[in-house]
Amino acid sequence: MTSTIDPKAQAAQWWATDIIKMSPGVIQFHGYPIQDLIGQLSFTSMIWLMLKGDVPNPEQEALFNAALMAGVDHGPQAPSIAIARMAMSCGVGINNAMASAANVLGDVHGGAGEQCLEFFQRIQQAIESGLDLDSAIQNELQAFFASGKKYVPGFGHRFHPVDPRSRPLMQLLEKAEQAQATTGNYREIALGVEQHIAKLKSRPVPMNIDGATAAIYGALGFPAALCRGLFVLSRSVGILTHAWEQNQSNTRNKGPMPKGWLWSYTGTPERNLNTHEV
């Protein structure tokens, strides 16, 4: 039996996408010709367009831009930055150094924003089901700590008593809310969780950048799973910068500890193979 399948049509569906249309002389993103976007759309707005399929309004762009900008770097103590510098000093290309760094942005380093937004979204869903804010937060925190977890993602910081990035971001979120550029109760949820944790812990546990950006991304309508990708985009700026700085240095920094420092050995004491009974 002769096949009626058109090979060209079948090939065209292989990578079917809503994102980009491209043919000789034509490049369009979600229907917008590239020549109309160049010089008119910021890089931040282009990220929004690619992910959401349309252009943000000015308030949304400003808030989104602030969240991305605030997380670009946190110094060589951060594993991703340290790895970028070590990889660069090993003689690899800058793309290899960046990839090595991005590959460690996982659940522990880089994943807190996603985890925090998932937490906020459960509270948001409870509010939408008719529960008041305080009860929704109390129920979620109770379930969280009852599961054996001790630290709510997005709150507390091992270096900063108060994260200097969180308050300015929350102020911008409030401004965007007043302009009706956001959805949900994410700012109230984030601040409410902060207050409830302080009562449970008998001391303040301030919101960190992961909590603030989680509230922002939630209010801007991004799904939680995208938070990690957005953090990778943000932190890649710092990764690139540190990799480039290391590339310009004449020193080598291949190890995670300064020269002359050694680790602690905790294994079996020295022994003699000749006295070992077989």
Tens of pLDDT, residue by residue over 166-218, are 999 999 999 999 999 999 999 999 999 999 999 888 788 999 999 999 999 99
Asked if 216 contacts 63 with a C-beta cutoff of 8 angstroms, the reply is yes
Residue with tokens 């989680």: 214
pLDDT band at 277 (very low <50, low <70, confident <90, very high): low
Q: What's the rounded Cα separation, in Å, for the pair 174 and 186?
A: 10
54: alpha, beta or left? (left if phi > 0; alpha if psi -120 to 50): beta
Count Cβ neighbours within 10 Å for each residue of 234-257 and write b for 16 or more, e otherwise: bbbebbbebbeebeeeeeebeeee
Q: Which of 79, 87, 85, 81 is nearest to 107 (CA)?
A: 79
Q: Tell me which residue has tokens 């079996």.
A: 268
Q: Residue 209: its pLDDT value, please?
A: 95
- pLDDT for 21: 96
| 252 φ/ψ angles, rounded to the nearest 5 degrees | -110, 140
